Structure 1
Amino acid sequence: MQAWGMAAVGVAGVAAGGINAVVGSGTLITFPTLLALGCPPVAANVANNIGLVPGVIGAVHGYRRELAGQRRRAVRFGVASLVGGVAGALLLLRLPAGTFKAVVPVLIVIACVLVLLQPRLNRWTARRQGEGGADGGVPLWLGVLCTGVYGGYFGAAQGVLLMGLLGSFLRDHVQRLNAVKNVLTATVNGVAAVVFVLTTRVDWPVAGVIAAGSTVGGVVGARIGRRLPPNVLRGVIFVVGVTAAVVTIVR
């Protein structure tokens, strides 16, 4: 990949790191960028997943105050995310590449719709804060597990899915739930990255550039992202995501 292409990947990584901390849809920025630069879909997904791990870890660090007192909750649902992430990563590697190429446009469109629906999900979450249970029980654990499978396989908007689940079952402040969401997405991305590193070929230069950009975005970019008008941010993600779906189909 030429220098300008790597620069574009780095910028996309910064944006994705910040977006993941706030919205949870950074893959809809980096993945289309890699496709546009000629990366095969599965290889792009692997490099993207590995590259975004430092960014989500940075987001966890940025929300460390909101994580106070939530260790038991994070561990409980972290186990579900770990198991789901491994399963999703293995599905990506074991199923034919053509399957991923056929499925990913649908997944991207679903992710885009979730991003657009996020304001309604947030309002619903706020209303439910006084109604949820203590730990969500088995249904929430299974929901987190299924989200982990999705995240290990592709991952776009898994943060939106998690916020919808956590807000539906738990009685807590949205920012505290967002902190747990970051831990769970970091777990899924991290364990999937380990599976990819051990079992398949990784485009390390691309993954490294994304990692550097997402680290900056995860720690610093979230502050900028919070200042952007939410509708503008969601609009950009939607346009980029739909473009990615079209590019994947055409290719």
Structure 2
Amino acid sequence: MTGWEQLAVLGAGLGAGILSSTVGVASLLSFPVLLAVGLPPVVANASNTAGLVAAGVSGSFGYRQELRAHPAVTLAVLVTCAVGSVGGAVLLLALPPGVFEAVVPWLILVSCLLVGAQPWISRWLRRTRDEPTRLRHHMSPATVVFSVLTGAYGGYFGAGAGVMMAAVLGLGTDLPVHVVNALRTVSLLAANVVATLIFVFVADVDWLAIGLLAAGSVVGGYVGARIGRKMPPTVFRVLVVIAGVVTAVVMLL
């Protein structure tokens, strides 16, 4: 890579880190930049995943107050997404490339719909519960299952996984939006760590690209968390829906 290309990757890492901690579509920015500077697709995918681990670490640190306030849910999200991502990585190695390419964009669009409609759906769910006034600050068995499945998707492919996790936590709990955003950031961290451990041993990676992405994303992840903590719920939902729709459209095209 030339000096300008290295600067572009560093900047992509910064922007991707901010996106990771706010709306969860970091790869929409960083992956195309890695391709543009000449990395083969497989190398770019593995290097991108590894480089964005730093964003997950700094983003989670930026959300530490929210995560400390709900340790049980934080632990559950970490474990379920880590376990799920192992399964996703196994599928990635075992299945032919592109098996889910036709399905994934539609999954993301459905998740966008659920995130956008979450306030109305949550109110309806509260009216149908036996204890409508009791807030759900723990993950139900159904939410755990969907969290594992989302982690599996994150380990297999990853694009739009943050949007899916926002939908799962938004509908499966009554936690505030900024807490959901914190937990979504942790879920992406868990999936990326597992995938990185696998990629380092079984895939080709570009260590210079990883280092540049990590240097940029570690700053961006923390900045994004500071933004996400102050983001109004409606703004968060609108941005997540927009980011998810853009991701799905890009994948369809």
**Band the TM-score falls in, shorter-chain normalisation:** 0.7 to 0.9
Residue identity in the other structure for 1:203 = D
Note closer, same or farther for the CA distance 1:152–1:37 as it changes in structure 2 (3 Å cut): same
Residue identity in the other structure for 1:18 = I
Aligned pairs for 1:34-53 (under 5 A) are 34-53=34-53
Q: Deviations over 1:171-206 (max 9, x none)?
A: 221112222222221111111111111232221111
SS at match of 1:84: helix
Q: Does 1:188 align with 2:191?
A: yes
Residue identity in the other structure for 2:86 = V
User: 1:69 Cα shift?
Assistant: 3.0
User: 1:5 Cα shift?
Assistant: 2.0
CA RMSD of aligned residues (A): 3.1
TM-score, normalised to structure 2, is 0.80
Unaligned 5+ runs, structure 1: 247-251
Note closer, same or farther for the CA distance 1:44–1:214 as it changes in structure 2 (3 Å cut): same
Residue identity in the other structure for 2:151 = G
Q: Distance in 1 between matches of 2:121 and 2:182?
A: 15
Q: Deviations over 1:2-49 (max 9, x none)?
A: 322222221111111001101011111111222233322222111111
2:136–2:175 CA contact under 8 A, matched in 1: no
1:14–1:221 CA contact under 8 A, matched in 2: no
Q: Distance in 1 between matches of 2:106 and 2:9?
A: 22
Note closer, same or farther for the CA distance 1:115–1:46 as it changes in structure 2 (3 Å cut): same
Residue identity in the other structure for 2:116 = R
Note closer, same or farther for the CA distance 1:122–1:42 as it changes in structure 2 (3 Å cut): farther
Note closer, same or farther for the CA distance 1:68–1:19 as it changes in structure 2 (3 Å cut): same
1:29–1:241 CA contact under 8 A, matched in 2: no
Note closer, same or farther for the CA distance 1:42–1:91 as it changes in structure 2 (3 Å cut): farther
Partner of 1:31: 31
Residue identity in the other structure for 1:120 = G
Aligned pairs for 1:150-229 (under 5 A) are 150-223=153-226
Question: 2:151 pairs with 148, 152, 155, which one?
Answer: 148
TM-score, normalised to structure 1, is 0.80
Note closer, same or farther for the CA distance 1:32–1:114 as it changes in structure 2 (3 Å cut): farther
Partner of 1:120: 116
Structure 1 stretch displaced more, 46-55 or 136-145: 136-145
Structure 1 stretch displaced more, 217-226 or 139-148: 217-226
2:25–2:243 CA contact under 8 A, matched in 1: no
SS at match of 1:66: helix
SS at match of 2:72: helix
Q: Deviations over 1:104-160 (max 9, x none)?
A: 57646754x468657615545774686764533221111011111111122122111
SS at match of 1:201: coil
Q: Distance in 2 between matches of 1:212 and 1:20?
A: 14
Note closer, same or farther for the CA distance 1:131–1:6 as it changes in structure 2 (3 Å cut): farther
Unaligned 5+ runs, structure 2: 127-132
Q: Distance in 2 between matches of 1:154 and 1:106?
A: 12
